Structure 1
Amino acid sequence: MAKVVKIDETECIGCETCVELCPEVFALDDAGEKAQVIKPDAVDTDCVEESIESCPVECITIEDE
């Protein structure tokens, strides 16, 4: 089963930490208020783990698809 990167957008506070650390995987939504995953299959990208560890509300996960 494939793994994917996910963000709980209801918990996201829009701090942009993940976007700054890993812009190839995360971006702000059109309103600029919440982060979203733009490349969910990038689970092996080094910056994904750093983003997970740096998220102040712990809303980023790697889950089974």
Structure 2
Amino acid sequence: MSEFSPTPERSGLEPELGGVFRDAPERSGFEPELGGILRQKGVYVDEITCIGCKHCAHVARNTFYMEADYGRSRVFRQDGDPEDVIQEAIDTCPVDCIHWVDYT
């Protein structure tokens, strides 16, 4: 931390969603956990509503996986697939449990 700076400088070794930067108001939505400059929104699966049909995991394989213990879909990588592929998974979900959410 610089003696002139009120906030610590990033070293690049901090956890992507942790530490002093978790609640920083200057977060923009372009952070690495959302794919950098790719998008300002994230994908969210409402696991309570999910029926485990596996369709999203087949359509967008690099974004969704089936959680083994409960057999429900879960997002494991926000930038895993192109936005149009993720949108196809959202549009074809039979119970409408996958949503785009604003980063904030």
**What is the TM-score when the length of structure 1 is the normalising length?**
0.86
> Does the CA contact (< 8 Å) of 2:56 and 2:89 recur in 1?
yes
Offset of residue 42 of structure 1: 5.2
CA distance in 2, matches of 1:59, 1:48: 13
- Tell me: higher relative CO, structure 1 or 2? Use CA pairs within 8 A at least 6 residues apart: 1
Larger Rg, first or second structure (1 or 2): 2
Deviating above 3 A after TM superposition, structure 1's stretches of 4 or more consecutive aligned residues are 41-44
TM-score of the pair, normalised by structure 2: 0.56
- The secondary structure found in structure 2 opposite 1:24 is coil
Deviation at 1:30, TM superposition (A): 2.5
Higher strand fraction: Structure 1 or Structure 2? 1
Tell whether the 8 Å contact from 2:55 to 2:89 is kept in structure 1 after alignment. yes
Q: Deviations over 1:1-53 (max 9, x none)?
A: 43100000000000000001010000001326100001124585321110011
Unaligned runs of 5+ in 1: none
Aligned-residue identity in percent: 32
Q: Which residue matches 2:47?
A: 9
> Mind listing any 5+ residue stretches in structure 2 that lack a counterpart?
1-28, 30-39
